[in-house]
């Protein structure tokens, strides 16, 4: 089945682009806005509307596969590609990308996705991660339609995996409205919560006291309003490097002391801490994540560390996983470019015995989320991120419902890859 045409449309994401560096330097929030000077190249304001590009790949039978190009909320931070603005990149997709794909057979997701991932622009640089991300989604969908398979079954066929026959745990994001949104998560029985958005010392507390108080409140809230007996969610807090800001990014003893106290406060609920420090470069981040993991493991502190900052590409993930730099790694899907890298990252983490959390960003779309669910189900990720946005309801609905559809469709025997 040949690819005959490519079309693009400009869209919005489910959140915003935020200048992380400016926020860390003390930009003040004012309603939904931030006040202050920008600090990251490309930003005209500290917070601006997130943009996406829908890419449609048409087949000779009239069907089309589609995906959405989107970049992370904190574009330009932690070694990532710069701010992704749709008008700057649609011409590139409609010309260079289209020229490469049109006329090719939609017979292999992995082959076509890898080709797009290696494609370069006029300057010899790889295409923006957001382009590779969205085009590869469209490729997966087009190949699935050409072969009469579900997207997850295409991945299972090409990577030799088995699609999950059960729901995967969904991790919900609260944003700054961490109290009201936690209530929504509890009502919906979210397996992993609440995120918390502790992206400044002001929010964490000068001694980390605000997170400690919140953990106490969250524990009582779950106990009081648990939707069923035995509801026991994981408490996963995203700290954006602020614990390291308070105690010192290489002060493993002081950070471990704090996490030990947090573990006691949250008990009996299990705690995960994402991004405890930001050490300004990949090697230092790996060293500090490994050092803190060794310290808390040595002391028997039952807190898992989740690698995020400076762990962006497939190569980064392999580097962090090989060095045991954390207990779990967030596979931040847009940062990896083509989604075949997401699949391979999750499978590599599983191979070396480190947790694989298929994440992403609040700044994605409904479509990128749906395709990511197929990747997660095909590779059996340990948990997945509810996205886009930080309002809980819509993101949780998209993730939950897409997984339920996959299970129902496959149970009905539709689009299932049978090895025999």
Question: What are the backbone dihedrals phi and psi of residue 172, each rounded to the nearest 5 degrees, phi first?
Answer: -95, 150
At a CB cut-off of 8 Å and minimum separation 6, what does 180 contact? none
User: Environment class of residue 392 by beta-carbon count within 10 Å: exposed (0-12), middle (13-18) or buried (19+)?
Assistant: buried
Question: How many alpha carbons fall within 13 Å on the CB side of residue 269?
Answer: 28
Contacts with 164 (C-beta within 8 Å, 6 or more apart), sequence order: 376, 377, 378, 380
Q: Chain-centre distance of CA 244, in angstroms?
A: 22
Residue 29 DSSP one-character state: E
Which among 332, 351, 411, 419 is annotated as catalytic? Answer: 332
Give the residue ranges of DSSP H helices in 205-241: 209-225
Place of tokens 């189900």: 377
DSSP 94: I
DSSP 103: T
Pairing of strands 170-171, 271-274: unpaired
- Give the distance between the most distant pair of CA atoms in the chain: 62
Q: Catalytic residue at 332?
A: yes
- How many CB atoms are located within 10 Å of the residue 62 CB? 7
Length of the chain: 420
Q: How far is CA 138 from CA 8, 56, 109, 190, in A?
A: 11, 6, 10, 29
**Cβ atoms within 10 Å, residue 408:** 10
165-200: string of b/e by CB count within 10 Å (b at 16+)?
Answer: eeebebbbbbbeebeebbebbbebebbbbbbbbbbb
CA distance 78 to 20: 9
**Dihedral sign computed on CA atoms, order 314, 317, 321, 322:** positive
All residues at 6 or more sequence positions from 327 whose CB lies less than 8 Å from its CB, including other chains: 272, 293, 304, 305, 306, 354, 355
Q: Which residues are designated catalytic?
A: 332
């Amino acid at each position: 089945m040949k690819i005959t045409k490519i079309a693009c449309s400009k869209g919005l994401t489910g959140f915003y682009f935020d200048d992380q560096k400016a926020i860390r330097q003390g930009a003040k929030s004012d309603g939904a806005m931030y006040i202050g000077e920008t600090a990251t190249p490309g930003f005209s304001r500290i917070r601006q509307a997130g943009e996406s590009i829908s890419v449609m790949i048409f087949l000779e039978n009239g069907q089309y596969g589609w995906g959405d190009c989107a970049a992370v909320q904190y574009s330009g931070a932690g070694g990532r590609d710069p701010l992704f603005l749709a008008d700057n990149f649609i011409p590139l997709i409609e010309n260079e990308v289209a020229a490469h794909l049109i006329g090719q057979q939609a017979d292999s997701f992995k082959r076509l996705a890898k080709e797009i991932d290696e494609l370069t622009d006029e300057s010899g640089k790889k295409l923006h991660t957001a382009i590779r991300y969205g085009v590869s989604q469209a490729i997966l969908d087009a190949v699935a339609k050409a072969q009469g398979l579900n997207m997850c079954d295409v991945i299972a066929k090409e990577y030799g995996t088995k699609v999950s026959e059960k729901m995967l745990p969904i991790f919900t994001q609260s944003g700054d409205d961490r109290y009201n949104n936690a209530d929504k998560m509890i009502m919906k029985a979210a397996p992993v919560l609440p995120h918390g958005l502790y992206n400044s010392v002001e929010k964490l507390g000068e001694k980390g006291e605000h997170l400690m108080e919140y953990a106490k409140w969250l524990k009582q809230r779950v106990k009081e309003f648990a939707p069923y007996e035995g509801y026991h969610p994981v408490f996963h807090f995203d700290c954006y490097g602020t614990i390291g800001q308070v105690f010192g990014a290489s002060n493993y003893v002081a950070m471990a002391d704090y996490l030990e106290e947090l573990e006691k406060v949250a008990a009996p609920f299990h705690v995960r801490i994402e991004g405890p420090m930001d050490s300004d470069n990949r090697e230092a981040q790996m060293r500090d994540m490994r050092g803190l993991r060794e310290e808390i493991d040595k002391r028997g502190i039952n807190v898992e560390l989740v690698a995020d900052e400076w762990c962006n590409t497939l190569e980064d993930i392999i580097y962090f996983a090989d060095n045991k730099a954390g207990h779990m790694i967030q596979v931040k899907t847009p940062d990896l470019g083509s989604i075949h890298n997401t699949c391979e990252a999750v499978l590599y983490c599983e191979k070396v015995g480190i947790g694989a959390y298929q994440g992403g960003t609040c700044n994605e779309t409904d479509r990128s989320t749906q395709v990511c669910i197929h990747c997660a189900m095909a590779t059996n990720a340990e948990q997945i991120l509810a996205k886009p946005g930080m309002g809980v309801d819509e993101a949780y609905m998209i993730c939950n419902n897409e997984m339920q559809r996959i299970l129902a469709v496959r149970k009905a025997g539709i689009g299932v890859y049978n090895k025999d």
